[in-house]
Amino acid sequence: MKAAIFHGPKQDLTIEEVEVDNPMAREVLVKTVASGVCHSDLHFVDGFYQFPAPAILGHEAAGIVESVGPDVTEFAPGDHVIACLSAFCGHCDYCLTGQTHLCRSPEVRRSSTDPPKYTWNGDPVAQFANLSSYAEKMLVYENALVKIRDDMPLNQAALIGCGVTTGVGAALNTAKVEPGSTVAVFGAGGVGLSAIQGSLIAGARMIIAVDTVEAKLATARELGATHIVDASSGDPVEAIKNLTGGGADYTFEAIGLKLTAEQCFESIRRGGTATIIGMIPQGEKVELDGSSFLQEKKIQGSSMGSNRFRVDMPRYIDFYMQGRLKLDEMITRTGRLEDVNEAFRAMKAGEVTRTVLEFD
């Protein structure tokens, strides 16, 4: 099969012929139909986070089951599925207490004594996030998939695999935005737009989008923001406080920067909650005013929208089919696997919300 090989930070991915193994027990081979190009992959390409090379990146995908290994009972060839990096074992402490998104059990991956899932020129290729969707096929643990309705377009379904679940889930699951509340979202990329939509679904009465790119702010308006703040023309913290009368009930940081994480916290009212979604580079520290905690201000992280993806993703699909969750508007471009490096360039330049790579 064809796959985009990651050779290390600050290097272009190359399209190569890669061998994929047959499914072992509890594994499923999926024909990739669509893969979104997510900013999280760019963090590894740019070297802000480390991952061993060679590897196949990509983690936001939908496809069709091609074959299943022994002991797989929930999936069959022909099933339409969304892949999720929150692969779970189902019986560790996290899974048994409803936090499947925090499961890190080694049993969802092959052991070092098992044959590699992917090889290139006879050598093993690392799998990224238990998925590796920049490839024509994904060989994944069964609990990294959810079966979906056949009438759901797979290009749009791919977005639910990461960005949408991360942003919508941060609002609905992590922060639990209340009806009638005020919200500010820093960053109007794919995840930020999803947090805006999640806040709208939750019933927020004011949703403020913060960004520096005019086109992104316009899209945020289209997808549910009631107010916009151009952070390039003034202090967004003061703007949010002025709009809300002292600070938002909930704020979300969907960029992954120290500065915006601090601004996210500074923008909440007394008793408010700031949720950090973005991937702040490893080693960087976020500095907060200690006296703010006397006002019961809270800051928290969010991992993949605190998802229960086998429950959440079908719900998000229903929201989309009902017109309550807008996904078409988030796909700025489509391309082929060979266009992955251009997709990264366009993302860095702020030209796209999402590029979706389509496979035959």
Q: Has 43 been annotated as catalytic?
A: yes
Cis amide bond preceding 153, omega within 30: no
Q: Has 162 been annotated as catalytic?
A: yes
Task: Find, among 248, 202, 256, 257, the residue nearest to 229 by Cα.
Answer: 248
Q: Has 95 been annotated as catalytic?
A: no
Q: Has 59 been annotated as catalytic?
A: yes
Q: What is the residue type of 24? A: M
Put the strands of the sheet holding 19-20 in their side by side order: 14-17, 2-6, 55-56, 123-127, 118-120, 19-20
Mutual orientation of helices 258-266 and 236-244 as an angle, nearest 10°? 20
> DSSP 3-state assignment of 32?
strand
Q: Catalytic residue, from 35, 38, 132, 181: name it.
A: 38
User: Kind and range of the H or E element at 228?
Assistant: strand 227-230
Task: Find, among 84, 121, 123, 89, the residue nearest to 103 by Cα.
Answer: 89
Phi, psi of 4 (to 5 degrees): -90, 115
Pairing of strands 137-141, 123-127: unpaired
Q: Catalytic residue, from 43, 84, 103, 264: name it.
A: 43
> DSSP 3-state assignment of 123?
strand
Spatial separation of the C-alpha atoms in residues 222 and 219, rounded to whole Å: 5
Copy the structure tokens of residue 124: 């093993």
Q: Catalytic residue, from 35, 39, 103, 162: name it.
A: 162
Catalytic site residues?
A: 38, 40, 43, 59, 162
